[in-house]
Amino acid sequence: MVDHNKFINERINKSKSENAFRTLKCNKDLIDFCSNDYLGFAKETTIHHINNNTSELLNYGATGSRLISGNYKLTEETEAFLANFYNTHTALIFNSGYNANIGLFQCLPQRNDTIIYDEFIHASIRDGIRLSNGSNFSFPHNNLAVLEQKLSNAKGLLYVVIESVYSMDGDIAPLSEIVALCKKYHAALIVDEAHAVGIFGNGKGLVSELGLENDVFARIVTFGKAFGVHGAAILGSNELRNYLINFSRAFIYTTALPLHSIITIKNAHEFLLQNLNRINTLKELINHFRNLTSNIKHQTLNSYSPIQCIIIPGNNEVKAMADKLQQNGFDVRPILSPTVPKGQERLRICLHSFNSKQEVDNLVNTLKI
H/E stretch holding 161 reads strand 158-163
End-to-end, the C-alpha distance of the chain in Å comes to 50
Report which of 353, 28, 1, 56 is spatially closest to residue 199, judged by C-alpha positions: 353
For residue 127, the one-letter residue type is D
For residue 170, the one-letter residue type is G
Domain with CATH 3.90.1150.10 in the chain: 17-39+276-368
Please tell me the total number of residues recorded for the chain in this structure: 369
Are 216 and 240 contacting, i.e. CB atoms less than 8 angstroms apart?
no
Domain with CATH 3.40.640.10 in the chain: 62-274
Counting Cα atoms < 13 Å in the Cβ hemisphere of 28 gives 1
From 3.40.50.2000, 1.10.150.120, 3.90.1150.10, 3.30.565.10, which CATH number describes the 17-39+276-368 domain?
3.90.1150.10
From 3.20.20.120, 3.40.640.10, 3.20.20.240, 3.60.15.10, which CATH number describes the 62-274 domain?
3.40.640.10
pLDDT tens track, the chain, 369 positions = 568 888 989 899 998 888 888 888 887 789 999 999 999 999 999 998 877 665 556 667 888 999 999 999 999 999 999 999 999 999 999 999 999 999 999 999 999 999 999 999 999 999 999 999 999 999 999 999 999 999 999 999 999 999 999 998 999 999 999 999 999 999 999 999 999 999 999 999 999 999 999 999 999 999 999 999 999 999 999 999 999 999 999 999 999 999 999 999 999 999 999 999 999 999 999 999 999 998 888 889 999 999 999 999 999 999 999 999 999 999 999 999 888 889 999 999 999 999 999 999 999 999 886
- Would residue 47 be called left, alpha or beta, if left means φ above 0 and alpha means ψ between -120 and 50 degrees? alpha
Report d(CA 76, CA 19) in Å as an integer.
47
